[in-house]
């Protein structure tokens, strides 16, 4: 049911139904600006405070101006938020991305969905933060973001009494055998910066594993907020 309000003429006019939409768009535009235009955080904060004070002064007599100024505040908050992000730490994992087979232990930070793969089987892609990596020569406790593709043949996934291709959930600790590689961009000018996109999400390596080689360990690793976010996202999708 639409919200209605009375104007100065006494007639009822439809009220806005998307107040948060405009705020979200202004915030997103501010993020886009903050990525490309750097300014000292103090500058953004002073501008936000001045605009907020102006909105309070205009609140009684200039409602349209208040809306515009408020959207400007959201715009500046978006720019400030992106520039206050801590830098992504990229560990040296070159010795793990040389194509050798590794035994990895970690925990799921982003859930995936089971989809059909191009070879007639099924696949699921999840994000993991590693806890330890074991090669033929060493076992190293190291943390880094890994995007893992898990594959299963359709006959294996649907075999009676066999559950080799389960849905992996946020916070589950997993143990698997995989080969890792560094993400890379294609050399064509103007192409999408895939590597930079992954780094912004904390992902510095890619890997693939067979479903039968992925084992769920006891315990949970993650935050309650992350768990709630994953549950909500699961219900929406």
In a domain, 203, yes or no: yes
Domain that holds residue 103: 94-236
Would you call 142 exposed, middle or buried from its count of C-beta atoms within 10 A (0-12, 13-18, 19+)?
middle
Is 6 inside a domain boundary?
no
pLDDT tens digits, 132-152: 999 888 889 999 999 999 998
Residue 13 lies in a domain: no
- Give the per-residue pLDDT at 169: 93
Cα distance between residue 39 and residue 24, in whole Å: 22
CATH code: domain of residue 195:
2.40.50.140
64 and 102 inside one domain: no
Contact 172, 107 (CB under 8 A): yes
Among the candidates 53, 83, 113, a domain finishes at 83
pLDDT score recorded for residue 171: 93
What is the per-residue pLDDT for 228?
85
- Which pLDDT score is estimated for 156? 54
Q: 77 and 110 share a domain?
A: no
- Is the domain of 46 the same as that of 72? yes
Say if residue 222 is in the same domain as residue 180. Answer: yes
Low-confidence stretches of the chain (pLDDT beneath 70):
1-19, 86-89, 154-164, 187-190, 237
Number of domains in the chain: 2
3 found inside a domain: no
Q: How far apart are CA 109 and CA 89, in angstroms?
A: 17
d(CA 138, CA 144): 17
Residues 137 and 67 in one domain: no
The domain boundary, picked from 44, 63, 83, lies at 83
Domain stop point among 83, 109, 127: 83
pLDDT for residue 4: 46
Residue-level pLDDT at 141: 92
Residue whose structure tokens are 């309650």:
224
Residue 186 shares a structural domain with residue 111: yes
What whole-number distance in Å separates Cα of residue 30 and Cα of residue 86?
Answer: 18
pLDDT of residue 189: 63
């Amino acid at each position: 049911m639409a919200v209605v309000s009375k104007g100065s003429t006494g007639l009822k006019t439809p009220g806005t139904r998307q107040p948060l939409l405009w705020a979200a768009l202004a915030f997103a535009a501010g993020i886009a600006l903050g990525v490309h235009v750097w300014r000292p955080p103090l500058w953004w904060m002073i501008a936000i405070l001045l605009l907020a004070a102006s909105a309070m002064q205009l609140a009684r007599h200039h409602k349209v101006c208040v809306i515009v100024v408020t959207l400007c505040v959201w715009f500046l908050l978006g720019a400030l938020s992106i520039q206050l992000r801590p830098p992504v730490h990229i560990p040296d994992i070159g010795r793990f991305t040389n194509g050798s087979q590794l035994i990895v232990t970690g925990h799921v930070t982003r859930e995936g969905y089971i989809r059909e793969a191009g070879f007639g089987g099924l696949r699921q892609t999840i994000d993991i933060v590693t806890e330890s990596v074991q090669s033929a020569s060493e076992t190293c406790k190291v943390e880094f973001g890994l995007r893992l593709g898990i594959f299963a043949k359709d006959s294996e996934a649907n075999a009676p009494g066999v559950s080799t291709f389960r849905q992996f959930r946020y916070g589950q600790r997993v143990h698997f055998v995989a080969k890792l590689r560094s993400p890379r961009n294609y050399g064509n000018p103007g192409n999408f910066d895939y590597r930079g996109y992954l780094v912004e999400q904390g992902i510095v390596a890619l890997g693939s594993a067979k479903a039968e080689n992925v084992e769920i360990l006891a315990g949970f690793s993650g935050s309650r907020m992350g768990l709630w976010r994953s549950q909500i996202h699961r219900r929406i999708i």
